[in-house]
Amino acid sequence: MKPVLVLFMAVMLVGCASMVRDGAIIRAQDNFADGDYADAIAIADRALNAYDYNDDQRAQLLFLKAVSYQRMEDYQGALALYRYIAYKYPETEYGFRAATILQSVDSQKTKSSGQST
């Protein structure tokens, strides 16, 4: 009976940990949706340091940080994160999104430099 109880408790703890981990993503998204970009970044940072995420989840949190920086008009910080996401997580949805944003930025730079000559 004791081994069954221990196994049950282990399963419950793993389930609770994943709920807390997923809850951090939701909290960061909620803060972002409310326009509280600094808190969204802080929550994402804490979550990335505290929990083990798969590549998709890590890319999602980093992308949320990048968009938050962009909304706060920290374009250099946003671009640096977009580059990192596109490089580190190219096979994820957010890696693709970051690469698309970077292509758009590069395209705008090319158009701007072509118009000034």
Q: What is the pLDDT of residues 3-34, one digit of tens each?
A: 665 555 555 545 445 655 678 889 999 999 99
Q: pTM for this structure?
A: 0.78
The residue type at 12: M
Question: Could you tell me the CA-to-CA distances from 23 to 29, 40, 41, 63, 109 in Å, in that order?
Answer: 10, 13, 15, 17, 38
Residue/partner pairs of 43-52 with CB below 8 Å, 24 or more apart: 44/68, 47/21, 50/24, 51/17, 51/20, 51/21, 51/24, 52/21
